[in-house]
Amino acid sequence: MPAALPLLSIEDLSIDLDVFRGRARVVDRVSLEVEEAQVVGLVGESGSGKSMTAMAVMRLLPRAASIAGGHIRLDGRDVLSMSEADMRRLRGREVAMIFQTSLLVLNPLLRVGDQIARVFRTHAGLDQRSARVKAVEMLDRVGIRHPERVSHSYPHELSGGMIQRALIALMTAARPRLLIADEPTTGLDVTTEVQIFDLLREIRRETRAAILLITHDLGTVAENADRVAIMHAGHIVESGPTRAIFKQPRHPYTRALLSSIPRFDGSQPLESTLRGQAPDVFSLQGDGCRFAGRCPQVMDVCRQHRPPLVQLVDGHSVFCHLYADGL
Amino acid sequence: MDSEALLQVRDLGKQFVLRAPLMRRFAGSAPIALAAVDRVSFDVRPGEAVGIVGESGCGKSTLAKCLVKLLEPTSGSIRFGSTDVHELRGAELKRFREQVQIVFQDPVGSLDPRWRVRQIVAEPLRIHGVDAKGALYRQLVDLIELVGLRADQLNRLPSELSGGEQQRVAIARALATRPRLLILDEPTSALDASTRIHILALLAELRRTLRMTYVLISHDLSVIRALCDRVLVMYMGRIVEVGPTAAVFDLPLHPYTEALLAAIPVPDPDVQKQPVRLRGDLTWVPPAGCSLAPRCPMAAPACADRPQQLVAWDERRLVACHRISEREIQPVPIVLNRAAATTAEAGR
């Protein structure tokens, strides 16, 4: 689709967090695009702002957080200026989110099948009986055995993998065009994790839904994403096609992250260039690079000025002073 | 008996009795016994690092707790050196606790939030008797530096440390009594990826310098690969495969090991993996036959009839799979019991 608008475009999004300790910019001028049927991985350590960014797209930010600038466009519509009523229609039908803590998302007092049926009643206007039938179909489609029986179960009666599957059934029931998956397999076993990713891949093939995959795990990103954006302390430091990020990482943080994965074949020594912690966003001063304190290649300019955006080939871009004069 | 073994586990079983919900008990439902650990046998030799890998609910943490006598097994035996762990009482038990220490997954939960680091690390020294005050401080500094922290951090509270530093404190506390055997139960699972590799490097370094023996429990195969000489793979309370780490990773024999290995995400977009998938989800009630049979991609009808048993595949590897004999290489059909285990281990 040349020149077509991306399905999701985030431009210079900034989010402030106001808490007892003070105010901090937890997401700082973040830009990101997701095209139709594309899987984009958003990677960062805990506290890097990746979930905040996702919550802003859903317009589900916690009360202490506020948008300090930027735009979010979903299919050309300005998400941040929409009324709450319009937004509610958008959620589920256009964009849906799968959370890590899926047990908390499902209502513990309602049977799983009834919760999925409600989506069909709300978004497709079906009556209770045919909505129930559709719900069982959905459970079957996400690979749950004995879907009829499971549809009568309460969430606590299901295993972690089944819950996550039921949730995917619930969230994709209205065939959203964008699915935000926030650490969808954290806490699940690896053999269940591959099943969940198989399922997401299948759903994407069937519905052409785009997926924004939020994770700290570079392995799942390498296997599932078309493009990757790396976040550190509220900044996107590098983004590009998955292969470029893994084969030619440019930002020192991306390189350090990659070096800190213990290699499976034991080929690498147990050492990493990644040191220390991400900076405390509440005590940041000035507009310097937020990775400067941990960077093995830090220069004086890094602490003073915001790193420039450097465009490389194939939509690979990096924010880093090292490349200010080109590669 | 293999006199060389530091730790010898034979036919170990731990059952938990699940009582039926109140209403069903009135209706006459009997309690169900759940075998968290089922007939597990293995040896750990001095200086060896043995990994136990498996997914949640496979019984690996129950096994760890049995090894340090935090849980009493329902059957089987554990010998540490020449002593039977089950029989230990009083002063002997205290001596055992000095020699066998454990590091848990969650450093926050295993450190007292109101104690300073020096109190936390000093406690085992105090319990196991260190004389003069000056000597104690010296030891604390040595310990804290051994795990890569600074002496001034002795006065911190756990909440003032990062996750990685907290886990270093937990390791320092475990090392305080100079144990011979360290049980590590998911030591890096609660940590960020960037911290994890530094803790792994520390554990590798400590093992080399202190000539420690490790039993490392993890669901993460890359952690096992990085630290262990030998690996035991557990599924639903049973050991399904045993072998040298490199050999098991290069050629997994059991379909479960194969699926586990295939499931690890590889951070390299160019790697194409053989998709080996288990079907469905783990059930709580063990099947009558092979415990993996309902989910196994290679299961034959006969697999559901008989429970699987560990047999020697070569002199260093054991596998519990009915279909292993259909591979080219003929296994030696021996059941792992006291005598057989020794035979199998002796060839190592």
> Alpha helices of A147-269 — where are they, by DSSP H?
147-151, 160-172, 190-207, 218-224, 242-247, 252-259
Those residues with Cβ within 8 angstroms of residue B266's Cβ, 6 or more apart along the chain or in another chain: A219, A222, A223, A264, B273
Strands (E), A21-175: 22-34, 39-43, 65-74, 77-78, 95-98
Mean of pLDDT values over B69-80: 95
Reported confidence tier of residue A311, pLDDT bands at 50, 70, 90: very high
Determine the distance in angstroms separating the CA of A92 from the nearest CA of chain B, rounded to an integer.
27
Task: With beta carbons less than 8 A apart as the criterion, state whether A71 and A81 touch.
Answer: no
Determine the distance in angstroms separating the CA of A184 from the nearest CA of chain B, rounded to an integer.
14
Q: What is the dihedral of CA B218, B221, B225, B228, to 10 degrees?
A: 30
Reported confidence tier of residue B135, pLDDT bands at 50, 70, 90: confident
Say if residue B13's pLDDT is above 70.
yes
> For tokens 């035996």, what's the residue?
B77
Of B55, B225, B269, the CB nearest to A264: B225
Residues making up chain A, counted from first to last? 327
pLDDT tens string B214-255: 999 998 888 899 899 999 999 999 999 999 999 998 889 999
Choose, out of A164, A194, A255, the residue to mutate when testing the contact with B (most B CBs < 10 Å): A194
Cβ contact, residue pair A262, B56, below 8 Å: no
pLDDT value of residue A266? 60
What DSSP assignment string belongs to B288-304?
A: SS-TTGGG-TT--GGGG
Range of lowest pLDDT (A29-38, A102-111, A300-309, B104-113): A102-111
Q: How far is the C-alpha of B14 from the C-alpha of A9, rounded, in Å?
A: 55
pLDDT value of residue B128? 82
Cβ of B282 under 8 Å from any chain A Cβ? yes
Choose, out of B197, B256, B282, the residue to mutate when testing the contact with A (most A CBs < 10 Å): B197
The identity of residue A140, as a single letter, is: D
pLDDT value of residue A223? 92
Cβ of B152 under 8 Å from any chain A Cβ? no
Looking at per-residue pLDDT, the higher value among A326 and A212 belongs to A212
Q: What is the mean pLDDT of chain A?
A: 89
Cβ contact, residue pair B278, A191, below 8 Å: yes
What DSSP assignment string belongs to B33-60?
A: EEEEEEEEEEEE-TT-EEEEE--TTSSH
- Is B36 exposed, middle or buried (CB count within 10 Å of its CB: 0-12, 13-18, 19+)? buried
Which residues on A lie below 8 Å from B246 (Cβ)? 266
pLDDT value of residue B24? 66
ipTM rounded to 2 decimals: 0.78
Chain B residue with CA closest to A163: the answer is B281
Q: How far is the C-alpha of A153 from the C-alpha of A166, rounded, in Å?
A: 11
Q: Which of A192, A176, A170 is nearest to A110 (CA)?
A: A170
Find which of A276-280, B213-217, B303-307 is predicted with most confidence, using mean pLDDT.
Answer: B213-217
Determine the distance in angstroms separating the CA of B77 from the nearest CA of chain A, rounded to an integer.
30
Q: Which of B93, B43, B13 is nearest to B346 (CA)?
A: B43
Cβ contact, residue pair B280, A145, below 8 Å: yes
H/E stretch holding A104 reads helix A102-105
Query: Which is it for the CA torsion A34, A38, A44, A50, positive or negative?
Result: positive
Those residues with Cβ within 8 angstroms of residue B218's Cβ, 6 or more apart along the chain or in another chain: B51, B52, B53, B184, B186, B187, B188, B189, B224
Cβ of B229 under 8 Å from any chain A Cβ? no
pLDDT tens string A57-69: 999 999 999 999 9
Determine the distance in angstroms separating the CA of B132 from the nearest CA of chain A, rounded to an integer.
36
Find which of A88-92, B54-58, B67-71 is predicted with most confidence, using mean pLDDT.
Answer: B67-71
Q: How far apart are the first and last CA of chain A?
A: 30
Chain B residue with CA closest to A275: the answer is B194
Which residues on A lie below 8 Å from B277 (Cβ)? 191, 194-195, 198
Phi, psi of B233 (to 5 degrees): -105, 125
pLDDT value of residue A268? 66
Cβ contact, residue pair B281, A162, below 8 Å: yes
Radius of gyration of chain A (CA): 21
pLDDT value of residue A52? 93
Say if residue B341's pLDDT is above 50.
no
Reported confidence tier of residue B53, pLDDT bands at 50, 70, 90: very high
Which residues on A lie below 8 Å from B280 (Cβ)? 143, 145
pLDDT tens string B165-224: 999 999 999 999 999 999 999 998 878 777 888 899 999 999 999 999 999 999 888 889
The residues facing B318 across adjacent strands are: B242, B312
pLDDT tens string A19-30: 888 899 999 999
Task: With beta carbons less than 8 A apart as the criterion, state whether B63 and B217 touch.
Answer: yes
The residues facing B215 across adjacent strands are: B50, B183
> Alpha helices of chain B — where are they, by DSSP H?
22-26, 60-67, 90-99, 107-110, 117-127, 133-146, 163-175, 193-210, 221-227, 245-250, 255-263, 338-346
Of B162, B263, B267, the CB nearest to A258: B267
Cβ of B330 under 8 Å from any chain A Cβ? no
Angle at alpha carbon of residue B210, lines to B209 and B213, rounded to 5°: 120
Say if residue A141's pLDDT is above 90.
no
CA A296 to chain centre: 28
Of B197, B264, B280, the CB nearest to A272: B197
Mean of pLDDT values over B260-278: 81
Cβ contact, residue pair B201, A258, below 8 Å: no
Determine the distance in angstroms separating the CA of A280 from the nearest CA of chain B, rounded to an integer.
12
Determine the distance in angstroms separating the CA of A200 from the nearest CA of chain B, rounded to an integer.
15
pLDDT value of residue A157? 85
**How many Cβ atoms from other residues are within 10 Å of residue A104's Cβ?**
10
pLDDT value of residue B97? 93
Retrieve residue B255's tokens: 């379909």
Determine the distance in angstroms separating the CA of B202 from the nearest CA of chain A, rounded to an integer.
9
- In chain A, what percentage of residues exceed pLDDT 70? 95
A22: left (phi over 0), alpha (psi -120 to 50) or beta: left
- Is B285 exposed, middle or buried (CB count within 10 Å of its CB: 0-12, 13-18, 19+)? exposed
